[in-house]
Amino acid sequence: MSLLFSPVDLGPLRLSNRIVVEPMCQYSAEEGRATDWHAFHWPNLAQSGAGLAIIEATAVEPRGRISWADIGLWDDATEQAFANALAATRRHSAMPLGVQLAHAGRKASTHRPWDHHGAAIPPDDVHGWQTVSASATPYAEGGVPPIALDQAGIDDVVAAFVASARRAVRLGLDLIEIHAAHGYLLHQFLSPLSNQRDDAYGGSLENRMRLLLQVFDAVKAAVPATMALGVRISATDWVEGGWDLAQSIVLAKALEARGCHFIDVSSGGLHPAQRITAVPGYQVPFADAIKQEVAMPVIAVGLITEPQQAEDILQQGRADAVALARGILYDPRWPWHAAAALGADVAVAPQYLRSAPREHAARFVQAA
């Protein structure tokens, strides 16, 4: 029996299989509002056969967007647009859907990746704004320095995450993932490379973890017990003297003690000096190491592209679920093909049942 196609619980949320569609920015919003592109894209993800799809990094305030074209969930207009785009998905799929709540910090105010290679936009440009961070150190040398958040600014960030989480609950989403990876604001507070503060939020590991743990506690207190809540981290900066696996394990244990339902383990993104050799499954060892230290489910991601590779990761006890991002964009029916390869059942919409190859027809079962 395939472990990849067996159920798994992320806290109160049961997934029918252990394939997760990771958040993938679409850079297709208008003033933070979801558009027709999202109304097309989300239903497509929901027909993939995965156990869960997490909607792209969703900014908790306008200055927290990566680019001017990022989606947000910070006011009634962005909430209503989100609801409109979500409606078609919900009509035709019962797949659990989550949202990744995010703040880009000093990596905000950029072009879309296909425009000017995603370069930073200065605050005086029509599409730019002043960024904020843990310290006044820019991401790239020569960049516009961010403003170091003071206590009032930190309090506002926590409140923004809470307000967006409450909107996610109203939207009927099943899961919230707090984005503390890839060099964005919460990661900027975690890493000593970007956090040079000398107050209660800087210096020691305990202090650098403080903001993320405050955000987590505040969001958990604001959402119902039926809402699955987890965190995505970068397990290492891939830069000497930066955030690393040992610190990630301490953080994972602290999150678990607070009732975190899952941890999604990625890496990198904080510093341009990172050196990564991206080979198949290159981030799985980080997930594996964290899984040995916590009981909550661990999601592994990073060039997991083959069904047997995914199955082996789970069978070897290196993670509890596996996630795909670009692989799903390239092949939106990857879980169908994985089920065929592993001799497992996968639920598909009745309109698609007859698409199964004859030798695998029995493996396609009608989705609820």
The sign of the dihedral angle between the CA atoms of 280, 286, 292, 298 is negative
Treating both helix axes as pointing N-terminal to C-terminal, what angle do 151-170 and 205-222 enclose, rounded to 10 degrees?
A: 30
Tell me the pLDDT of the chain averaged across its residues. 95
Domain hosting residue 230, numbered range: 8-366
In a domain, 2, yes or no: no
Predicted confidence pLDDT, tens digits, the chain (368 residues): 899 999 999 999 999 999 999 999 999 999 999 999 999 999 999 999 999 999 999 999 999 999 999 999 999 999 999 999 999 899 989 899 999 999 999 999 999 999 988 899 999 999 999 999 999 999 998 899 999 999 999 999 999 999 999 999 999 999 999 999 999 999 999 999 999 999 999 999 999 999 999 999 999 999 999 999 999 999 999 999 999 999 999 999 999 999 999 999 999 999 999 999 899 999 999 999 999 999 999 999 999 999 999 999 999 999 999 999 999 999 999 999 999 999 998 988 889 888 877 766 657 888 87
Residue 270 sits in a domain whose CATH number is: 3.20.20.70
pLDDT tens per residue across span 108-153: 999 999 998 889 999 999 999 999 999 999 999 889 999 999 999 9
* Residue positions annotated with a catalytic role: 184
Report DSSP letters for 310-355, one per residue: HHHHHHTTS-SEEEESHHHHH-TTHHHHHHHHHT--EEE-GGGGGG
In a domain, 82, yes or no: yes
**Alpha carbon of 19 to those of 42, 168, 225: distances in Å?**
16, 22, 23
pLDDT tens per residue across span 205-250: 999 999 999 999 999 999 999 999 999 999 999 999 999 999 999 9
What element of type H or E holds 64? none
What element of type H or E holds 76? helix 76-92
In a domain, 91, yes or no: yes
In a domain, 180, yes or no: yes
What element of type H or E holds 219? helix 205-222
In a domain, 232, yes or no: yes
In a domain, 1, yes or no: no
Split into its structural domains, the chain has a count of 1
